Structure 1
Amino acid sequence: MKVTAAVARAPDADFTIEELEIDEPREDEILVRVVGVGLCHTDLVFKATSTIAPPAVFGHEGSGIVEKTGSAVSKVAPGDRVAITFRSCGECARCNQGLPAYCYTMPMLNYAGMRPDGTKALHGAGEDVASHFFGQSSFATHCITYERNVVKAPEGFPLELAGPLGCGIQTGAGGIMNSLACQKGSSVLILGGGAVGLSAVMGAVVQGCETIIVLEPHRGRRELARELGATHTLDPAEAKDLAAAVRAILPVGIDYAFDTTGIPDLLQAVMGCLAPHGTFGIVGIAPPGTPVPGDLMSLVTFGHTVKGIIEGDSDPDTFIPKLIELHNQGKLPFDRLVKTYPLSEINSAIADQHEGKCVKVVLLTGQQ
Structure 2
Amino acid sequence: MSSQAFYDIRAAVTREQSAPFVIEDARIRAPKNDEVLVKILATGMCHTDMIVRDQYYPVPLPAVLGHEGAGIVEAVGPNVKDIQVGDHVVLTYGYCSHCHQCSDGHAAYCDEFYPRNFQGTGMDGETALQDAKGEPLHDHFFAQSSFATYALSLENNAVKVPADAPLELLGPLGCGIQTGAGAVINSLKVTPGSSFVSFGAGAVGLSAVLAARVAGATTIIAVDVVPSRLELALELGATHVINSKDEDPVARIKEITNGGTKFALESTGRPQVLRQGIDSLGLLGAIGVVGAPKLGTDSTFDVNDVLLGGKTIRGIVEGDSNPKQFIPLLVELYQQGRFPFDKLVKFYDFDQINEAAADSERGVTLKPIVRISQ
TM class by smaller structure: over 0.9
Kindly provide the CA deviation profile for residues 152-198 of structure 1, in whole angstroms up to 9, marking residues without a partner as x.
11021001112111111111111001100011111111011111111
TM-score normalised by L of structure 1: 0.97
Alignment correspondent of 1:207: 215
Kindly provide the CA deviation profile for residues 102-138 of structure 1, in whole angstroms up to 9, marking residues without a partner as x.
1111111111110112100111124211100010000
| 2-structure distance, mates of 1:103, 1:366 | 32
Is 1:363 the equivalent of 2:367? no
Alignment correspondent of 2:140: 132
Kindly provide the CA deviation profile for residues 272-301 of structure 1, in whole angstroms up to 9, marking residues without a partner as x.
111011101000002333335423332211
- Pick which of 282-291 and 93-102 moved more: 282-291
Alignment correspondent of 1:283: 290
Alignment correspondent of 2:90: 83
TM-score normalised by L of structure 2: 0.95
Kindly provide the CA deviation profile for residues 342-362 of structure 1, in whole angstroms up to 9, marking residues without a partner as x.
111111111222233221111
Give runs of aligned pairs for residues 53-68 of structure 1, distance below 5 A. 53-68=60-75
Give runs of aligned pairs for residues 167-246 of structure 1, distance below 5 A. 167-239=175-247, 241-246=248-253
Kindly provide the CA deviation profile for residues 319-345 of structure 1, in whole angstroms up to 9, marking residues without a partner as x.
111111111111100111111111111
2:309 to 302, 312, 334: 302
| 1-structure distance, mates of 2:295, 2:320 | 23
- Pick which of 291-300 and 339-348 moved more: 291-300
- Pick which of 35-44 and 116-125 moved more: 116-125
- Unmatched segments (≥5 aa) in structure 2: 1-6
Preserved CA contact (<8 Å) 1:29 1:144:
yes
| 2-structure distance, mates of 1:272, 1:67 | 50
How many residue pairs get aligned? The number is: 366
Preserved CA contact (<8 Å) 2:41 2:72:
yes
Preserved CA contact (<8 Å) 1:9 1:55:
yes
1:18 to 24, 28, 32: 24
Alignment correspondent of 1:96: 103
Preserved CA contact (<8 Å) 1:271 1:293:
no
- Unmatched segments (≥5 aa) in structure 1: none
| 1-structure distance, mates of 2:238, 2:264 | 14
| 2-structure distance, mates of 1:297, 1:285 | 26
| 2-structure distance, mates of 1:287, 1:232 | 31
Percent sequence identity is 44
Preserved CA contact (<8 Å) 1:151 1:316:
yes
Alignment correspondent of 1:31: 37
| 2-structure distance, mates of 1:188, 1:280 | 9
| 1-structure distance, mates of 2:363, 2:126 | 38
Q: Relative to structure 1, is the Cα distance of residues 362 and 163 closer, same or farther in structure 2, using a 3 angstrom cutoff?
A: same
Alignment correspondent of 1:141: 149
- The CA RMSD measured in Å over matched residues stands at 1.2
Alignment correspondent of 2:277: 270
Runs of 4+ with >6 A deviation? none
| 2-structure distance, mates of 1:295, 1:111 | 34
| 1-structure distance, mates of 2:183, 2:170 | 18
| 1-structure distance, mates of 2:22, 2:226 | 29
- Pick which of 121-130 and 316-325 moved more: 121-130
